[in-house]
Structure formats: C-alpha cells, structure tokens
C-alpha cells in the first residue's frame, strides 16, 4: 500500500476525505464522492481516511472535525473544507486543477 505522502504527490488532483464511521455527514458524503469519481474518472484520485484508524495522520493534518475534505496535487494542498460539499462544487473545483 502506498503511503499518504506518495498518494498526495500525484500529478493529478487527489481528493482526500477524512471521515469517521459514526459521523452522519460523512455518510452523506459517500455517494457524493462516488458521483465525483464517476464524473471525473481517472483525472482525479479519491481516497478516504478513517480518522479513528489513522489518528496520527489526522493529527498531523490538523483534522478536528469530520468530514474534512482536502485537495492535493504534487504534494501541495490546494483546498480544504470541513462539512458536506456538493458534488457539483467538488467537480468544478477539481476540474480547475486537472
């Protein structure tokens, strides 16, 4: 399995979803992320990080609330937002970085 730093160092946008199993809004994000991936396909990578299973990573990236979404490209954080974000907004955002 690739390390987180390897994943976010891709030359395509990587949408990272920090979530928790017990989080209601996180469950809302799941079909939205699926829709984004279906719309953009191989242009983007979408990964989900369970904050309960990856507490060190969540702490390193100062994730204090879930869901927290981040977009990386070539290791650089381009965008970050907590809470539910609509698919159309994410698709528009990611297209600007492809």
Residues catalogued as catalytic: 23, 26
- Say if residues 63 and 16 touch (Cβ distance below 8 Å): no
Of 87, 93, 97, residue with least CA distance to 39: 87
Rg of the chain over CA atoms, in angstroms?
12
């Amino acid at each position: 399995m690739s390390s987180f730093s390897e994943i976010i160092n891709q030359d395509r946008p990587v949408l990272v979803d920090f979530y928790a199993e017990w989080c209601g809004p996180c469950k809302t994000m799941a079909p939205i992320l699926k829709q984004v991936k279906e719309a953009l396909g191989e242009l983007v990578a979408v990964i989900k990080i369970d904050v309960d299973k990856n507490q060190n990573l969540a702490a390193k990236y100062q994730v204090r609330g879930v869901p927290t979404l981040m977009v990386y490209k070539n290791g650089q954080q381009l965008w970050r937002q907590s809470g539910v974000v609509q698919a159309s907004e994410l698709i528009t955002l990611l297209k600007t970085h492809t």
